[in-house]
Amino acid sequence: MSAAIILKRGREKPVLNRHPWVFSGAIDRVDGRPQPGDLVQIATHDGRFLAHAYFNPHSQIRARILTWRVRILSWDETPPTKTFWRGKLTRALKLRHSLSFGSDTTAYRLVNAEADGLPGLIVDKYGDFLVMQCLTMGIEKRKAMLIDLLAELATPRGIIERSDVSARRQEGLEETKGVVWGDAPPDELEVLENGRRFLVNLLAGHKTGFYLDQRENRAILGQSHFISGKSVLNVFAYTGGFAVYAAAQTAGPIINIDASAEALTLAEKNIALNGWERPQDEYIQGNAFEALRYYRDNGHQFDVVILDPPKFAHSRRDVKKASRGYKDLNWLALRLLRPGGLLATFSCSGRIDADLFQKIVFSAAVDAGRDAQILQHLWQGPDHPILLTFPESAYLKGFLCRVW
Ligand code: SAH
């Protein structure tokens, strides 16, 4: 008999609804002696089998579900084997294949953790290289097997691990990074996104190197009728994702602001790499809030402001403070826009859903005394799918607003 997690009476509903997380509070007891990362069965209080999961006693999310009892066809109680992992990876690759990125987009997400049925595993593709993040003990324990499978199924030149994320500490894991299979990537690897050229540093860049989740939004904002000839304030510019798209449509002067000097250096290189000379652009290293206040105090005005801040809310406790941060930021940005200008504003905090974010931007507009119309809702791209039964997988949301 394998180890089992027995739920409290009446706590099976989320599991039946195929939510992949089992929290400590829902658990009555653990039968057997599962080690961190081991497979466990999930069962109701009266012993009915519900799902297979991997276990971690160190995390509040005590178990992450891999397979559920198939309710209609059969009661499949076989625990997941290597075939399971191969099947899930194959399905994830197939989805990306069906998105038909074509040869002008060589960087995209291959595996989006829970949303691809692979809790705790992120894999991004950058040309011939893969970058993986192992966020949980269950994935850490199976890392060698997953690397083998990725090498076999995606035939990369090299696989880099970027598990240097603080979330690992909640799982009792150290941060780690390095080349784990095949060749090391060049310091600056060139990738294409919608035909635009970008240099990416896979070992030192943020996340896995690039904010792939903004691809579709960069393309939306980078349409000539929105951006051509316009002055742009690109706040939280990183390596110039939005700036490169804007420059491609002959935007007016672009001011890029970011806290990271390395990111801005790469942003400038990316503009040059695409063949443009833009002496009118600026790259300003500093705090976004201070920069926005400076422009407000000095009466600067822009046609387009982009706000793509880092995650402000890391847990439920942060939501209030984060909401204030988003409001301040949007309030400042709204005051810098010329009448008829565009605000592209984002939040990548999973804890702040699209409804709440809309309310925050609404109250910023009221306080700034500006009318704003939402032209378009913006989301993470389709290579970052959202699992219907797991709303937590919807994290990036934004609005494209016309401001009067
Ligand atoms: N828009 C970018 C991604 C932005 S990610 C793209 O399309 O690629 C968020 C960026 O905010 C990071 O580059 C980080 O360095 C920067 N950042 C974080 N805190 C900041 C602050 N207080 N002021 C300015 N930049 C900040």
> Would the CA dihedral through 171, 172, 175, 178 be positive or negative?
negative
Whether residue 74 lies inside any domain: the answer is no
Same domain for 260 and 377, yes or no, is yes
Same domain for 121 and 255, yes or no, is no
Same domain for 258 and 117, yes or no, is no
Whether residue 196 lies inside any domain: the answer is no
Distance from the alpha carbon of residue 123 to the mean position of ligand 1, in angstroms = 22
Domain end marker among 68, 102, 122: 68
Whether residue 200 lies inside any domain: the answer is no
| Alpha helices (H) along 113-198 | 137-141, 143-154
pLDDT of residue 78: 75
Mutation pick for ligand 1 pocket among 255, 258, 378 (CB with most ligand atoms within 8 Å): 258
Whether residue 199 lies inside any domain: the answer is no
The count of domains in the chain is: 3
Cα Dmax for the chain: 71
Let me know: does 339 contact 404? Beta carbons within 8 Å. Answer: yes
Domain end marker among 68, 94, 109: 68
Same domain for 87 and 64, yes or no, is no
Same domain for 240 and 279, yes or no, is yes
- Angle, to 10 degrees, between the axis of helix 354-368 and the axis of helix 319-335? 40
Same domain for 23 and 165, yes or no, is no
The tens-digit pLDDT sequence of the chain (404 residues) is 589 999 999 999 999 999 999 999 999 999 999 999 999 999 999 999 999 999 999 999 999 999 998 765 555 567 889 999 999 999 999 999 999 898 999 999 999 999 999 999 999 999 999 999 999 999 999 999 999 999 999 999 999 999 999 999 999 999 999 999 999 999 999 999 999 999 999 999 999 999 999 999 999 999 999 999 999 999 999 999 999 999 999 999 999 999 999 999 999 999 999 999 999 999 999 999 999 999 999 999 999 999 999 999 998 999 999 999 999 999 999 999 999 999 999 999 999 999 999 999 999 999 999 999 999 999 999 999 999 999 999 999 999 999 99
Q: Residue 178 corresponds to which tokens in the numbers above?
A: 């390095």
Plot region of 281 (φ>0 → left; ψ -120 to 50 → alpha; else → beta): beta
Same domain for 171 and 306, yes or no, is no
Whether residue 91 lies inside any domain: the answer is yes
Range of the domain at 337: 211-403
Same domain for 96 and 179, yes or no, is yes
- To the query of whether residue 134 is one of the catalytic residues in this protein, the response is no
Q: Look at residues 390, 358, 396, 401 and name the one whose alpha carbon lies nearest to residue 211.
A: 396
Distance from the alpha carbon of residue 270 to the mean position of ligand 1, in angstroms = 16
CATH of the domain at 12: 2.30.130.10
CATH of the domain at 157: 3.30.750.80
Let me know: does 387 contact 92? Beta carbons within 8 Å. Answer: no
Question: Which of these is catalytic: 348, 378, 394, 403?
Answer: 348
Whether residue 198 lies inside any domain: the answer is no
- What residue's CA is closest to ligand 1, atom 3? 238
The SS3 assignment for 77 reads coil
Pocket lined around ligand 1, Cβ cut-off 6 Å: 206, 211, 214, 236-239, 241-242, 257-260, 263, 287-288, 308-310
The model carries a pTM of: 0.94
